[in-house]
Amino acid sequence: MASSTVYAAAAVIIVSLYFYYIAKPKSSLPLAPGPPSLPILGNVHQAPKSYPWLQYHAWSKKYGPIIHLNMAGQHVIVLTSSKAAHDLLAKQGAIFSDRPRFVVAHELALQGMHMLLRPYDERFKLHQRLESPVLSKSAARAYLPFQDLESKQLLFDLLEDAGRSTNCHGYMERMTASIIYSLFYGYRVHSAVDPILLQAHAVNHEFDHLAQVGKYLVDSFPVLNKLPRFLAPWKTEAALHWQRQCALHVGNLERGLASSSWNIAKQMQEAVDTQSIVMPTTELALDIGIMADAALDASTETMMWFVVACITEGHRDWMSGAQKELDITVGRERLPGFEDRPALPYIEAILEELLRWRPAGPAGVPHFTKVETSYEGFRIPANSVVIPNHWSITREEAVFGPDVEAFVPERWLNVKSTQKELPTVGFGYGRRICPGRHVARNGLWIAIARLLWAFDVKRELTETGEPVVVDTKGTDGLVTKPLPFRARFSPRGDWVDDIVTRECNTWGVNHHEILNRIASDVSK
């Protein structure tokens, strides 16, 4: 096996290098600047093994907003400014909306049906058309009652731990999972150890391993996939993973279709049926299931970064500023609600600053172009991977002002007063921009407003009364998560206990009625 693999790899390297060095580019413009490269290997030896966004950011200081890397013949373009990302990925969306190939994780293990990784082709556009009515701005508005319900439950859960040191991840995850699984499948999630959630975690964990960059040679040299199964062990791993993905997502789709009330799964199945779209059940199940997966991690971890911001950046007085705004506008006799949103600009600024300070996907999701083009005097070769490095984009001092590492919501308010719009960040670009961003923003807003209204969020103390150090770097990966930490949620007064105890235990609410009311709003 080893020798045939090596021969095949050698053949592919020669072909790649031929195209890289010898095949004639259409333009004579230079490539964008980047770190000096070695013959044949290019920049492979410098490729960051972990936390790639940090290395890209360091390079951006030296090479500017558009960086070229040569990964053994594969062109990689890293964009590190909002302007470059918008100019290319959004304004030239017709050619920059593809994805690089993931042979094992996508083409084999997901049979090409992972919505985030699909190539930009007709089938992708069909799925986008099916998704857009259930994720549009107006659909997101219709889902507000559910986000209202689950954010109340969050307060109730946290109040039970009031004053004690708590790892709040389970509460945050339960809230986001319950919003997503209820809307998608009509299924309310009662705890972070709900069996359906655990099954999803296990499948996603396995998928993350299959998608690890550099794990399989075949991802760099797809021709190796022509090897027979006994020489290609990744094929068996991928086939087993496909069965697990199907069991999870088809099981959830069936649960959704059997549920007594409206849900997104039913609405999308109906769209497929009424438009006579030929689509196997697994394909629809995967579309809905991958959307749910995409929603869960990024939303939960953004909430966790909010708590980290409270305990590591709260000394900058933004929390007390927000609580003052809440006390004036909402008072202490009722919870804040979505109806208060226009009158709470500071909470809005906190949300924007959170998405900037810790973008959940710091290295973005790579795009791909099959077409050669140019930008700012540099050639962008055909078949380039294009990475919008959110970490750098959210740290542009020319755009966001000084102290970009600090959590300063005022930067969003000041800019409003000077009529200069700041670019919203964290959800990607162009035709691949996150379709769930409206749903995500609403859910984050209500949870943040209510948490700040109800609690002072403080750092855990050591036995000697010193504040425990909390890591702010987070994990490596597509979605960065804060490392486990504990915090204290102390009610701001007796009025919090009264209102939360009275109004926020939602387990008696008939959530099917809420979903049926949503049904009529979504179809308006």
Nearer to ligand HEM, 32 or 177 (CB): 177
Residue from 294, 311, 347, 449 in contact with ligand HEM (CB under 6 A): 294
| Stretch of residues binding ligand HEM (CB under 6 A), selected from 198-206, 245-253, 330-338, 420-428 | 420-428
Under the binding rule (CB under 6 A), the answer on residue 470 touching ligand HEM is: no
Residue for token pair 């030929």: 278
Applying CB under 6 A, the span of 5-13, 289-297, 306-314, 482-490 interacting with ligand HEM comes to: 289-297
Residue 295 to residue 185: CA distance in whole angstroms? 14
Could you tell me the smallest distance in angstroms from the CB atom of residue 125 to ligand HEM? 10
Which amino acid is present at 64? G
Instruction: Supply the DSSP symbol for 467.
Output: B
List the one residue from 302, 394, 442, 480 that touches ligand HEM (CB under 6 A): 302
Was 168 annotated as part of a binding site? no
452 neighbors 322 (Cβ within 8 angstroms): yes
The stretch among 203-211, 253-261, 287-295, 408-416 that binds ligand HEM (CB under 6 A) is 287-295
- With respect to ligand HEM, which residue has the nearer C-beta, 144 or 440? 440
Bridge partner list, 489:
457
Question: Is the backbone of residue 300 left (phi > 0), alpha (psi -120 to 50) or beta?
Answer: alpha
With beta carbons less than 8 A apart as the criterion, state whether 107 and 101 touch.
Answer: yes
The rounded distance, in Å, linking the Cα atoms of 170 and 160 is 13
Q: From the CB of 192, what's the least distance to ligand HEM, in Å?
A: 18
CB-CB contact of 74 with 368 (8 Å): no
Task: Report if residue 53 touches ligand HEM, rule: CB under 6 A.
Answer: no
What are the residues whose beta carbons fall under 8 Å from the beta carbon of 368, sequence distance 6 or more?
96, 98, 99, 100, 383, 384, 385, 386
As beta bridge partners, residue 459 has 487
Termini Cα distance of the chain: 59
426 lines the binding site for ligand HEM (CB under 6 A): yes
478 binds ligand HEM (CB under 6 A): no
- Binding of ligand HEM by 203 (CB under 6 A): no
Angle between helix axes 281-313 and 264-274 (nearest 10 degrees) is 150
Residue pointed to by tokens 């949870």 = 447
**Does residue number 34 form part of the binding site for ligand HEM (CB under 6 A)?**
no
Query: According to CB under 6 A, which residues from 345 to 374 bind ligand HEM?
Result: 360-361, 364-365
Over the window 99 to 118, marking each residue x when it contacts ligand HEM by CB under 6 A and - when it does not, the resulting string is ----------------xx--
Q: Is 433 one of the binding residues for ligand HEM (CB under 6 A)?
A: yes
Please enumerate, by residue number, every residue annotated as part of a binding site for heme: 434
The footprint of ligand HEM (CB under 6 A) covers 115-116, 135, 291, 294-295, 298-299, 302, 360-361, 364-365, 426-429, 432-436, 439-440
